[in-house]
Amino acid sequence: MADLQDELHDPPEAHEPPVPATDPYTPTPGPKRPPRPAPPTPATGPAPSSRPAQAPRPHPDPRPFPQRPHPHPAPPRPGPQSPGHPEPPVDAAPGGGPGDGDPLERACALLGRWPVADGYNGLPRALRELPWYDLQLGESAVDTDVPRLRRGRVGALFCALHLPEGPASERALRATLEQLDLARAVVAAHPEGLRLARTAGEVLDARNCGRVAVVLGPATAAALDGSLAVLRVLHSLGLRVLTLAGTPWAGDTGLTRFGEEVVREMNRLGVLADLSGASEATADRALTLSRAPVLATRSAARALCPHPDNLPDATLAELGAAGGVCMVPLTAEQTGPTLRDVADHLDHVRAVAGPGSVALSGAYDSGAAHPHGLADACGYPRLVAELLDRGWPEPDLALLTWGNVQRALRTADFTARAAQERKAP
């Protein structure tokens, strides 16, 4: 018995597993894993790596890369002193408030944003007498060339196809076609400075490309010779403005039935009507009948100067109510001998017709004398500076130089598109 008790109390042999002291159904915990290292704190930084540090690779060119300016920089954000305005007004000087600085500098800055749309220029007629010319470098024999157009901040130019001698209708068409062909040839010979434009969109494209947009017209209505087919052919060649004067169907008694058909066909094609030189009856009927804006390419205020081509106040008021545009010419015969006389006419037309119905017409190379200080196309900044001194606000000046003419062209394009898409009854 004693031997049996000693055997029971002896420890088990090495080959036998130990008897657990706990419940056999309780899981035995496994070996503990070593704790993970704590993430580095911002104060101490990451733990040093065990890998050896590598030297940076040398750049083949140790010079820094040049920083090129962005071609289209973002506009500055509005500041606390001008909320809601992403950029300062044009007439603000760099170091002062609005209205500070030289008026001529402010005028040049404004024309840099809103160039001049010159409503009448007789360049094709003036170039007919020259055996050779170069408008890109400069031509002293005429009043208009590319350098002077750039100095005058001209963005669009209406090339008139009028005939000073007033030929008969059978010769008017031939002379108009010759001038139209000459104008197209002049534009094609100067692609770096001029570009032919037929629509308002093409005028904007030419301005964005740094070119002066050339719009063909106005032309004399005598060239139609009583045929709407001739009007369609002239439009296909690029004509955009036609003068309603000097014809039997647009006389002192107003428009005849054929004259009314001419106006309707001009609306369908997108050709603008010119009322300069027309009778009051013709002007009133054209304003009532036309669905597109009507122009007066070389007319000032008759109340200030009794010239037959100037418009009376009643016609100016009607023109403004219809959305038309009166283009005041820079001629001494119609406005006066000084720059201030031209500014007086602009003030009067703006007061009667409204700021949305006044524009500029240089009438250069037309054989007319010009006021002092406005002898050529370089004088537009001086005229705008005079208007700034008279208190013209910037929105009205933007409409005067560019906005009103662009609106008339754009509305004529929309009217023509709507008329062409309308189904016949």
| N-terminal to C-terminal alpha carbon distance within the chain | 134
Give the closest residue to 374 by CA, choosing from 387, 389, 359, 364: 364
> Is the pLDDT at 346 greater than 80, yes or no?
yes
CA distance 201 to 310: 31
Angle formed by the axes of helices 339-353 and 313-321, to 10°? 60
Confidence of residue 166 (pLDDT cuts 50, 70, 90): low
Render pLDDT for 300-344 as a digit per residue (tens, 0 to 9): 999 999 999 999 999 999 999 999 999 999 999 999 999 999 999
Confidence of residue 37 (pLDDT cuts 50, 70, 90): low
pTM for the model stands at 0.76
Contacts of 373 (CB under 8 A, 6+ apart): 338, 339, 379, 382, 383
Q: What is the mean pLDDT of residues 252-257?
A: 94
Render pLDDT for 348-372 as a digit per residue (tens, 0 to 9): 999 999 999 999 999 999 999 999 9
Question: Looking at residue 34, what is its pLDDT?
Answer: 54
Higher pLDDT, 8 or 115: 115
> How many angstroms from the chain centroid is the CA of residue 221?
30
Higher pLDDT, 26 or 182: 182
Question: Looking at residue 421, what is its pLDDT?
Answer: 79
CA distance 249 to 246: 9
Question: Looking at residue 289, what is its pLDDT?
Answer: 96
